Structure 1
Amino acid sequence: MNISLKGNSGCHQLCTMWADVAASMLYAFGSNGRGQLSLGHLEDAHTPTPCLIPSLLPSVPPCVIAAGGNHTVLLFPSGECFAAGDNTGNQCCLPSATFPSLTAFHPISSYHRWEHVSAGWSFTVLIDYEGKIFVSGKGQKGELGLGEDRHDALLEEIADFSPRKVIQVVSGMAHTLLLTASGDVWGWGAGRKGQLGEPTQSIVSRPRKVEVGFPVSKLDCGKDFSILVSRDNPQHIAILGNDRYRIGDSLASWSGAEILDIQASWNGVYLLETSGTINAWGKNDKGQLPPPSLEGITDIAVGSEHALAIAEDRTTKERKIITWGWGEHGNCGKPGGGDVIGEVFSLDIPAPRNVRIGAGCATSFVWVEE
């Protein structure tokens, strides 16, 4: 699952310190059984907790948090990457076991910089500024895109595949999609539910073009489905793959305003409109869908079965960070843990103009610059 940190807009030797570089703070809460929150331990955090960070971590906010099943990768505007969590399959792009605190992993060369990153359950996909695609991790369903006999890799390039300028990469639990500047989509990994288009294949072990019938402007991956927005008609949104909650029917009848953002959870789709409202469809047994009364939403970050948002009062302009949905691991920030159903929970964290939010697999992140 790939999460851009939302807002208005290396070294193997880890030297940790509390995150106060350049008057900024990175908080994390939720599932942490493999150290993916970078807290220095392996216990879940039920309330926002300051992360441990390496001393060389950039002082600017990361542009992307890629959250896998039990690992997290932060990509910074400088092209540097830092990872934390489970690395038993090299999904943290390093040859070691578990990293309970963020650790830098070296680029391929001294001039090498990453431009895009995504993470699936036990793998990571990285794209450099030359458009070369690298994979790291493990998977039995073609997740690495290296061919049908390859189930593990450590920062290995997908050879003989270099599409034109890539503008987005996203991963679900076991499949990945690339979006190019021309609006073309390429994908690989698990395809049994049709999430990689036609023809349906259980395993797509090498990148193939996904035929959708229109140029795409934005996309995202759910657990076993894909969501794609038309570049020519932003109100035309296609869903490929498992649609057990009939999201496609809802999208077909949706006649909303301009879309500010679109994201997918494991089993849902969330549209943030420029009006500040959210339209969402999908699974809702744990309150995954937002209360209908929400307004003044400026940013949203959707995780596996929960979400964070920034809400602004239209009169006072006061801003707050809210959460809702499945919160068993504390990923909604509610003291003691627990789901937030039919309402929202307000975090006790300031929400200045430059606050950033992120959400992953039962994990949540907030970057605050004061």
Structure 2
Amino acid sequence: MLYAFGSNGRGQLSLGHFEDAYTPTPCLTPSLFPSVPPCEIAAGGNHTLLLFSSGECFVAGDNTGNQCCLPSATFPSLTTFYPLSGDHRWEHLSAGWSFTVLADYEGKIFVSGNGQRGELGLGEDIHDALLEEITDFSPGKVIQVASGMTHTLLLTASGDVWGWGTGRKGQLGEPIQSVVPRPRRVEVGFPVSKLDCGKDFSILLSRDDLQHIAVLGNDRYRIGPSLESRSGAGILDVQASWNGVYLLETSGTIKAWGKNDRGQLPPTDLDGVADIAVGSEHALAIVEGKTTKERKIITWGWGEHGNCGKPGGGDVIGEVFAPDIPAPKIVRIGAGCATSFVWAEE
């Protein structure tokens, strides 16, 4: 079952209404909703997408700019949009502030939504789209897509990175351009294994044994120099908030750098972490007991809209909070712009 909590002013939590949820609440789902957990959860400014291994995609929330890939206003509960053909399947997706990017199993890239800063990758003069393919672009096998507020990165199986959207801070590499309206290669000097987008920066992890890390763009919190002092391998995942970077290590610990005025960075003594999901200014983690292997959810950071799961809302600073999830088996987590999602089973 899917649970959600946090900001819900446009129905992005799929609760059937437009009120924030301060504790984990079961989502409304259609009758043909999959019984297996989603393989990807993407959450934009006010819209949410769930992708399943079957290639099906479900959406909820604000669709005033077609960011939910359907020609309608809002979706206060999850609904699916029809494939382009009977055998069409989606493989990866991402969500920016008011747009969505999807990669299909053939390596074709589609965009839906709006943006004035090249977010759609369709060219300088195209600012609105309804599930439109980026033509004349064949990056090869896609293994990850990530979006910040107004820029997108795409990673291929060969370790190449492509990007488009806002580039004035250098988040899309050199040469620095205010707007990159079409996909272009992002050069970082090494093949990439994982990446993510912050508000106006990009974080890229190499796939070599030392796992080098590059930060492109605005680095007001000097994350790059902090990462340069880190040596050795052992990184399972790298994720970015609007203003921070989080590394999940093989030891079950989290290393994080960036803005921390609302407790966005986790306590340094966390261990047993099996998975993380980083939102705009908060994060979730799945932690496992060393002997029992029992899983629970913990949260920390900015929680004004209830996205940390505290009854009545509120930030979680210098500690973690453990929201109560009615179903005991925690399987998957996701986080967005003040939104949190948990897939749990009996």
Q: How far apart are the structure 1 equivalents of 2:253 and 2:274?
A: 9
Deviation of 1:354 after TM superposition, in Å, equals 5.1
Deviations 1:130-182 (A, max 9, x none): 11110000000000000000000000000100111111110000000010111
Aligned residue in 1 for 2:310: 334
Q: 1:48 is aligned with what amino acid? A: P
Deviation of 1:257 after TM superposition, in Å, equals 4.8
Q: Which runs of 5+ in 1 are unaligned?
A: 1-24
Aligned residue in 2 for 1:13: none
Alignment of 1:127-142 (within 5 A): 127-142=103-118
Deviation of 1:340 after TM superposition, in Å, equals 0.2
Aligned residue in 1 for 2:28: 52
Aligned residue in 2 for 1:277: 253
Aligned residue in 2 for 1:10: none
Aligned residue in 2 for 1:101: 77
Q: 1:114 is aligned with what amino acid? A: W
Q: 2:217 is aligned with what amino acid? A: G
| Count of matched residue positions in the alignment of Structure 1 and Structure 2 | 346
Q: How far apart are the structure 1 equivalents of 2:76 and 2:279?
A: 21
Alignment of 1:165-184 (within 5 A): 165-184=141-160
Deviation of 1:329 after TM superposition, in Å, equals 0.4
Deviations 1:204-249 (A, max 9, x none): 0000000111111111111110000111244310000000000001
Deviations 1:57-102 (A, max 9, x none): 1111111111010000111100011100000000000001000000
Aligned residue in 2 for 1:71: 47
Deviations 1:330-351 (A, max 9, x none): 0000000000000000111267
Aligned residue in 2 for 1:116: 92
| 2:119 is the alignment partner of 1:151 | no
Alignment of 1:1-370 (within 5 A): 25-255=1-231, 257-349=233-325, 352=328, 355-370=331-346
Q: 1:47 is aligned with what amino acid? A: T
Q: Which runs of 5+ in 2 are unaligned?
A: none
CA RMSD in angstroms comes to 1.1
Deviation of 1:315 after TM superposition, in Å, equals 3.5
Q: 1:45 to 1:123 in 2, by over 3 A?
A: same
Deviation of 1:256 after TM superposition, in Å, equals 5.5
Instruction: State the TM-score, normalizing by the size of structure 1.
Output: 0.92
Identity of aligned residues (%): 85
Aligned-partner SS, 2:29: strand
Deviation of 1:52 after TM superposition, in Å, equals 0.2
Aligned-partner SS, 1:193: coil
Deviation of 1:369 after TM superposition, in Å, equals 1.8
Q: How far apart are the structure 1 equivalents of 2:329 and 2:160?
A: 34
Instruction: State the TM-score, normalizing by the size of structure 2.
Output: 0.98
Contact 1:89 1:122 in 2 (8 A): yes
Contact 1:297 1:309 in 2 (8 A): yes
Aligned-partner SS, 1:250: helix
Q: 1:234 to 1:63 in 2, by over 3 A?
A: farther
Deviation of 1:319 after TM superposition, in Å, equals 2.5
Q: 2:249 is aligned with what amino acid? A: E
Deviations 1:272-296 (A, max 9, x none): 1111111000000000000111111
Q: How far apart are the structure 1 equivalents of 2:185 and 2:30?
A: 39
Runs of 4+ more than 4 Å apart = 350-354
Aligned residue in 2 for 1:7: none
